[in-house]
């Protein structure tokens, strides 16, 4: 999953961003820091199709003061391709 965010003010004071991923009240990926980047890629989550997940991102200042998080809901639809054929190897 690739995350991108914009719109945090006071860019000079921001030291890092923290994000988390939840499914309802269950934390799938806890607070994870990225230093002064406005995007992150997270792999290996084992997310389920047809489920709603919530991403929260907060800015953290040099004084370690955390902003209120912004959030977005993500709905994963369907699944990846399924194997329906055969594979042949000849030497």
Q: What is the pLDDT of residues 3-60, one digit of tens each?
A: 888 878 766 688 999 999 999 999 999 888 888 888 888 888 888 888 899 999 999 9
Domains and CATH numbers, the chain: 2-76 (2.60.40.10)
* Structural Rg of the chain based on CA atoms: 18
Q: Is the pTM of this model over 0.85?
A: no
């Amino acid at each position: 999953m690739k995350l991108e965010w914009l719109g945090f003010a006071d860019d000079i004071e921001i030291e890092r961003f923290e994000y988390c991923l939840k499914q309802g009240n269950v934390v799938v990926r806890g607070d994870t820091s990225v230093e002064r980047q406005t995007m992150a890629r997270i792999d290996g989550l084992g997310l389920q199709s047809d489920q709603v997940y919530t991403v929260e991102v907060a800015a953290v200042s040099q004084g370690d003061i955390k902003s209120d998080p912004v959030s977005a809901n993500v709905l994963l639809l369907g699944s990846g391709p399924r194997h329906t054929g055969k594979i042949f190897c000849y030497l």
